[in-house]
Amino acid sequence: MFNLFRKEQFRLYNQARKKFLKTPSLLIELEKFFSTYIYDLLKSNVEEFIVDYDEASKLYPFWQNYPPDV
């Protein structure tokens, strides 16, 4: 299954790479777009991340005394 679309993916990768080498400004614009998108996504969910992190911290003493079996 892994190799099923390997040649097509490699062809598409090389096609995109050539395009970005010809027009590096397009790559820079994509980097700006995705950086901004990820930043906004993280910023809009920061409170949920904090709550999840704090909740995990509250459970630390429990997991310290009762670690999962591996």
Judge whether 29 lies within some domain: yes
pLDDT of residue 53: 87
Judge whether 68 lies within some domain: no
Domain count, the chain: 1
Digit-coded pLDDT (tens) for 27-49? 999 999 999 999 999 999 999 99
pLDDT of residue 14: 98
pLDDT at 59 exceeding the cut of 90 = no
26: Cα separation from own chain's centroid = 21
Looking at per-residue pLDDT, the higher value among 42 and 60 belongs to 42
* Dist. CA 12–CA 18, nearest whole Å: 10
Q: Which residue range is the domain that position 24 belongs to?
A: 8-63
At CA 49, angle to CA 64 and CA 31, rounded to 5?
A: 125
pTM > 0.85: yes or no:
no
pLDDT of residue 62: 84
Judge whether 52 lies within some domain: yes
Judge whether 17 lies within some domain: yes
